[in-house]
Amino acid sequence: MIEQEKAEIRFMTMEDIEAVMKVERDAFPTPWDPGIFKTELTSNQFAHYLVYELNDEIIGYCGLWIVMDEAQITNIAIHSSVRGRNHGEQLLRYVIAFVKQMGVTQLSLEVRVSNTVAQNLYRKVGFREGGVRKNYYADNLEDALVMWVNVNESE
């Protein structure tokens, strides 16, 4: 018998920070400090953070800021042990549906110019290139590609 995976996307809680940090450290060369997540969850009125649970284990998350009718993804990541299985696409599509419900019309993000896998995913769900932020990433001064989507036109 094949066991069915149980997937759930829900809002992040303070209790989730330790598990989110495992994903954060796995995904990014300069991970955020746990204190940043605490501040985002408790003090930033514009912040919304979601976690992706697979079989009751957090394997990914997405943070975003919503201001008026615009939103920006601050970070999105799936643990490398489960990448390539459409979890990132599911999370991203969920986020797009969520911000659309919140009255958002445009969603944007920055992605490393070298991260073509992520760029391809963003394009797949309707993101377009909007410009380049020079020397954006502090760890190696890599440029960031700014991408955005009109959520009313996304796939």
Q: Which positions ≥6 away from 68 have C-beta within 8 Å? A: none
Closest of 82, 80, 58, 76 to residue 127, by C-alpha? 76
Spot the catalytic one: 49, 52, 61, 122.
Answer: 122
Which amino acid, residue 24?
A: E
Spot the catalytic one: 40, 70, 110, 136.
Answer: 110
For residue 93, the tally of other CB atoms under 10 A from its CB is 17
Chain centroid offset of residue 123 CA? 14
Sign of the alpha-carbon dihedral angle for 85, 83, 5, 10: negative
What DSSP designation does 40 have?
H
* 122 labelled catalytic: yes
Sign of the alpha-carbon dihedral angle for 79, 81, 87, 89: positive
Active site members: 110, 122
